[in-house]
Structure 1
């Protein structure tokens, strides 16, 4: 069966509703100032951040994977919460997968968002349930800067969670690859440089379902029941790896596993720390040419600021000549007016929950 025929779209978050915060990978307990700024940024977007019971776990006392997976289930059951946002990435999100309640996640239809290591959860949920998940910002890295959340990041997230379409995505005006040490060096706004348009490595247009995420995390899902199927997909990948040799090895692993065999196009995120940019270009160009894939690189969905939100599973069109990606359908469903009214009433009666 065509996977797109089984696509399950989550419900659009209600304006003013609560957003559940979960911490499935690395602790944010060492970053209280940055976390507080992220909470203020979310509130500024008209969303009420509500931490799950273990959201603020201490760095030296990680809860069991079952408990962190239960935080996600808790958000699904909480009627006030209309979307689930991860606080940060790390290395250990995959440990939660065996403990996720996939049926509850599918039935609650709440958007799940994050990037980097969170890719393991996004793809596992999508593969098991058919539900659209969102490769986009996490709270503390993406929203905790001294000058708050970048407007491009905010606009892309809110647009992805809003019914409507099609919608064209293009490069931001400016980008930042700065990586200040949190709580020590991130007291000032980031410096930015002109972003420039996304770059075409191999020309052409392509259409397909968006599927991908963090390169190394996708590699880690090979050989598991949660390996993504890329038939007819626009594959998007990003990495924070600096060595071209390591990136080449991971891309080669995906190629040998057949992930590019029946794909329709390739998007690769900005990789500002890479040791040999020209060599990375050649590596990606060779890969795209071998599989006949139109390819755009330096696309803003990785470890730079700002970051766009890409809905996994949604049909999109890539046009390298216009340096453009178009979402051809909405990623979320609108609730009916009665549900909107009742949800807004419940939300307005509950004050924000702050524990920092």
Structure 2
């Protein structure tokens, strides 16, 4: 069974289990706080949110302690880290997973590693979506704003999200729009081997999920047996930094580790990292994966480092359909 956190209030705990915000960028947190206040939320910042040194916000034991305290604090209704980073992996063995209650946590990139392990270890759903600083604009774009609808849904309810109309080709940090992003390019979801798939969502940033293979933090077989009753997994991946050969190597390792033994499809978000290598393209990798697994591969969806983003719930029952470049994701909070 999957358990779903219930959002009962409007207090957001902010901690940095990966990277924090350096002094020169503290204005990003202040802007985010003003935006959330306008939406009726109160932000409560942990110290790591404001610090960054040696590629992390704070020592691993501090980060683990802050995050655990927010989970256990009944006055905190959900947790949203400022952004991702690179070394969240250092806290995994410092978390008492069985002691964590059901509480929504939202994020992507390196934060997705915690979300992934949290759901695998506990059977509690987690929300892969935008981070705090990207929600600091005067308004929230139509796609990213759905995070609130998703985490507000009750067990048994269904949330429908649709493909964005446009996505952002490149960041313009010095020239933010009212919703931060510059959504200039026409969104086009694409598919191979079928245009629809249904299963239990699971995934995150492939760069960091890779490092759980063969460890206690990546036990897909036990999770699928004990929490999904053997239902197929509908995988989704975002790619931060892998070039095309690295993407292929990682997918092969996942296959050999049995991660794809009972899957209904693979979803890939847009990525700037996947530049062709000697003519070898991400589309070539997708085609090879589809041929190996004989399941639909749907790609360039709204997920990951090329915004805007859907909010994908690890553990939720989901159906995805693609037609004429547009798509629909239906998530049901099924136990």
Q: Residues 217-266 of structure 1, C-alpha deviation per residue, up to 9 Å, x if partnerless?
A: 11111121010517510000110226212222222221222222211111
Distance 1:196 1:177, change over 3 A: closer
Structure 1: which 4+ aligned runs deviate by more than 6 Å? none
Number of equivalences = 316
Equivalent residue, structure 1, for 2:209: 218
Distance 1:195 1:44, change over 3 A: farther
CA contact under 8 A between 2:207 and 2:242: conserved in structure 1? Answer: no
User: Are residue 270 (structure 1) and residue 264 (structure 2) matched?
Assistant: no
Equivalent residue, structure 1, for 2:142: 151
- Among 117, 130, 135, the residue aligned to 1:137: 130
Distance 1:242 1:206, change over 3 A: closer
The CA deviation at 1:11 is 1.3
CA distance in 1, matches of 2:258, 2:129: 26
CA distance in 2, matches of 1:187, 1:9: 35
Distance 1:320 1:163, change over 3 A: same
Equivalent residue, structure 1, for 2:51: 57
CA distance in 2, matches of 1:318, 1:62: 36
CA distance in 2, matches of 1:74, 1:312: 22
CA distance in 1, matches of 2:334, 2:126: 12
Q: Residues 176-225 of structure 1, C-alpha deviation per residue, up to 9 Å, x if partnerless?
A: 132345xxx35565432233341112214332110000011111111210
Equivalent residue, structure 2, for 1:68: 63
User: Are residue 88 (structure 1) and residue 78 (structure 2) matched?
Assistant: no
User: Are residue 48 (structure 1) and residue 42 (structure 2) matched?
Assistant: yes
Distance 1:40 1:263, change over 3 A: same
Gaps of at least 5 residues in structure 2 are 225-231
1:282-301 map, 5 Å: 282-301=284-303
Equivalent residue, structure 1, for 2:229: none
User: Are residue 249 (structure 1) and residue 243 (structure 2) matched?
Assistant: no
CA distance in 2, matches of 1:130, 1:111: 13
**What TM-score results when the alignment is normalised by the length of structure 2?**
0.86
CA contact under 8 A between 1:20 and 1:49: conserved in structure 2? Answer: yes
- Superposition RMSD in Å: 2.4
Distance 1:44 1:200, change over 3 A: farther
CA contact under 8 A between 1:296 and 1:323: conserved in structure 2? Answer: no
Equivalent residue, structure 2, for 1:258: 258
Equivalent residue, structure 1, for 2:170: 178
Distance 1:227 1:36, change over 3 A: same
- Among 190, 197, 204, the residue aligned to 1:199: 190
CA contact under 8 A between 1:234 and 1:264: conserved in structure 2? Answer: yes
User: Are residue 119 (structure 1) and residue 96 (structure 2) matched?
Assistant: no
The CA deviation at 1:22 is 0.9
**What TM-score results when the alignment is normalised by the length of structure 1?**
0.81
CA contact under 8 A between 2:60 and 2:90: conserved in structure 1? Answer: yes
CA distance in 1, matches of 2:308, 2:37: 19
Q: Residues 110-159 of structure 1, C-alpha deviation per residue, up to 9 Å, x if partnerless?
A: 1011111112211111111111011111112x2246x55433212x2101
The CA deviation at 1:282 is 1.8
